[in-house]
């Protein structure tokens, strides 16, 4: 895997092979501790049943044929808005103008800009679901630009992970309207995170499974992954200060207390990372999204440096990509996965649609 941390690698990349993908990931928690959000812009959504069918059947569809956006908004560890929408290619664009990147997926926009040693990223959201749920508004991510915190030499065709923005200040306003007639205006102020992923073949060809997470402590940020490939577990974690200077690299740890969901998907409730006298413990008990191949947690973490111990909450994930290609799950996935203009009856119902993103 190629790992870097530079804005110049955030640019949209040519992906001619079927099964390739690219995404721009953002998450944020507000200072009140109540609201959290995850937004992902895709060119070539790796979770699209139609895209995966093309690959499995030997078709020639490319990433640009399957642009998508996913938005998950949480209040007190519970989802209150969910979308995973694949748009038609003519309704989307992915442009690079040097120091600014502009991405459009339907009526949702992403602007990424570098200026005077800082990164300024804006998410302009306008997502309307067949259930009547609507999320609109702006979120601004601002951070120091500290390029090349680490670089691992790339190998041809491997997965690229660009940790562009480990710690950002986030502000903005969101408006949530529900299919039941509810309304919330959220004045957002908090911390956030952004990374960029690029793959030239389906994820199941690149790794067996993957844990990832990030936590913002008062003066530090932790980002980590545990990747299993051919049965071997690779552990990497990075601890940054507020100015995004790299302080420590974790390469030792373990996973503990595994559990299964109804689909037989196994994941750990605990992850331990160690570096000399510094230790991090991650407790993945609050599941906010789950399915046949994926978990998302708003997890708890403790950071211990000497005698000092700090406890915070942040996002973590687990994915087993081989399960994405198991066709037996596709009817369930299609209850949640919305093809713009082709909503099924489940997606049109505020009640049943909520069941899919709370129950699956």
CA angle 263, 266, 267 (to 5 degrees): 130
Give the rounded distance of the alpha carbon of 119 from its chain centre.
19
Give the rounded distance of the alpha carbon of 207 from its chain centre.
17
pLDDT at residue 153 is higher than 80: no
**High-pLDDT (> 70) share of the chain, %:** 97
**Residue 187: φ, ψ to 5°:** -95, 105
pTM: 0.96
Which three-class secondary structure state does DSSP give residue 45? coil
More confident residue, 170 or 360: 170
Q: How far, in Å, CA of 130 to CA of 348, rounded?
A: 5
Alpha carbons within 13 A on the beta-carbon side of 22: 19
Residue with tokens 């800082």: 118
Question: How do 118-128 and 108-115 pair as beta strands?
Answer: antiparallel
The predicted structure's pLDDT at residue 190 = 97
The predicted structure's pLDDT at residue 147 = 74
Which pLDDT tens digit goes with each residue over 206-254?
Answer: 899 999 999 999 999 999 999 999 989 999 999 998 888 888 899 999 9
Residue with tokens 């926009």: 109
pLDDT at residue 327 is higher than 60: yes
pLDDT at residue 129 is higher than 60: yes
CA angle 297, 222, 113 (to 5 degrees): 95
The predicted structure's pLDDT at residue 242 = 86
The predicted structure's pLDDT at residue 154 = 54
Which pLDDT tens digit goes with each residue over 1-55?
Answer: 888 888 988 999 999 999 999 999 999 999 999 999 999 999 999 999 999 999 9
Of the pLDDT bands very low, low, confident and very high (cuts 50, 70, 90), residue 152 is low
Which pLDDT tens digit goes with each residue over 64-107?
Answer: 999 999 999 999 999 999 999 999 999 999 999 877 999 999 99
Running DSSP on this structure, what letter comes out for residue 203?
Answer: G
**Residue 348: φ, ψ to 5°:** -85, -10
Alpha carbons within 13 A on the beta-carbon side of 275: 16
In whole numbers, what is the pLDDT of the chain averaged over residues?
93
Of the pLDDT bands very low, low, confident and very high (cuts 50, 70, 90), residue 63 is very high
Of the pLDDT bands very low, low, confident and very high (cuts 50, 70, 90), residue 156 is low
Question: How do 294-305 and 308-319 pair as beta strands?
Answer: antiparallel
Q: How far, in Å, CA of 338 to CA of 348, rounded?
A: 10
Length of the chain in terms of residues written: 360
Q: What are 262's two structure tokens?
A: 């109804």
pLDDT at residue 158 is higher than 80: no
The predicted structure's pLDDT at residue 2 = 85
pLDDT at residue 151 is higher than 70: no
Q: What is the DSSP annotation of 304-316?
A: EETTEEEEEEEEE
Q: How far, in Å, CA of 87 to CA of 66, rounded?
A: 7
The predicted structure's pLDDT at residue 339 = 97
Measured CA to CA in angstroms, residue 246 lies from 5, 27, 171, 238, 258 at distances of 11, 21, 25, 7, 31
Which pLDDT tens digit goes with each residue over 133-148?
Answer: 999 999 999 998 877 6
**Residue 34: φ, ψ to 5°:** -90, -45
- Residue 240's nearest CA partner among 164, 189, 329 is 164
Running DSSP on this structure, what letter comes out for residue 87?
Answer: P
Of the pLDDT bands very low, low, confident and very high (cuts 50, 70, 90), residue 162 is very high
């Amino acid at each position: 895997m190629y790992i870097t941390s530079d804005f110049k690698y955030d640019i949209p990349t040519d992906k001619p092979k079927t099964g390739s993908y690219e995404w721009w990931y953002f998450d944020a928690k507000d200072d009140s501790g109540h609201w959290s959000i995850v937004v992902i812009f895709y060119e070539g959504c790796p979770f699209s049943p139609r895209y995966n069918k093309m690959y499995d059947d030997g078709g020639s569809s490319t990433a640009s044929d399957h642009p998508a956006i996913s938005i998950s908004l949480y209040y007190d560890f519970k989802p209150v808005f969910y979308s995973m929408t694949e748009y038609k290619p003519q309704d989307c664009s992915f442009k690079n103008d040097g120091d600014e990147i502009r991405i459009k997926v339907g009526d949702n926009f992403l602007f990424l800009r570098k200026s005077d040693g800082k990164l300024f990223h804006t998410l302009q959201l306008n997502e309307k679901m067949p259930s009547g749920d609507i999320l609109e508004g702006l979120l601004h991510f601002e951070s120091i630009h500290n390029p090349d915190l680490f670089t691992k030499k790339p190998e041809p065709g491997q997965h690229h992970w660009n940790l562009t923005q480990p710690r950002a200040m986030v502000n903005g306003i969101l408006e949530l309207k529900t299919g039941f007639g509810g309304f919330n205006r959220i004045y957002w102020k908090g911390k956030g995170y952004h990374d960029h992923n690029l793959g030239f073949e389906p994820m199941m060809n690149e790794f067996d499974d993957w844990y990832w997470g990030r936590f913002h402590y008062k003066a530090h940020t932790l980002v980590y992954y545990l990747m299993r490939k051919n049965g071997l577990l690779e552990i990497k974690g990075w601890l940054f200060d507020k100015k995004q200077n790299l302080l420590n690299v974790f390469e030792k740890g373990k996973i503990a207390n595994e559990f299964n969901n109804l689909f037989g998907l196994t994941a750990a409730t605990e992850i331990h990372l160690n570096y000399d006298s510094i230790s991090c413990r991650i407790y993945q008990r609050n599941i906010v999204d789950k399915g046949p191949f994926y978990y998302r947690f708003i997890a708890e973490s403790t950071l211990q440096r000497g005698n000092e111990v700090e406890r915070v909450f942040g996002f973590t994930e687990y994915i087993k990509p081989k399960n994405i290609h198991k066709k037996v799950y596709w009817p369930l996935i299609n209850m949640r996965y919305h093809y713009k203009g082709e909503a099924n009856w489940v997606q049109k119902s505020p009640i049943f649609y909520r069941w899919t993103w709370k129950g699956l």
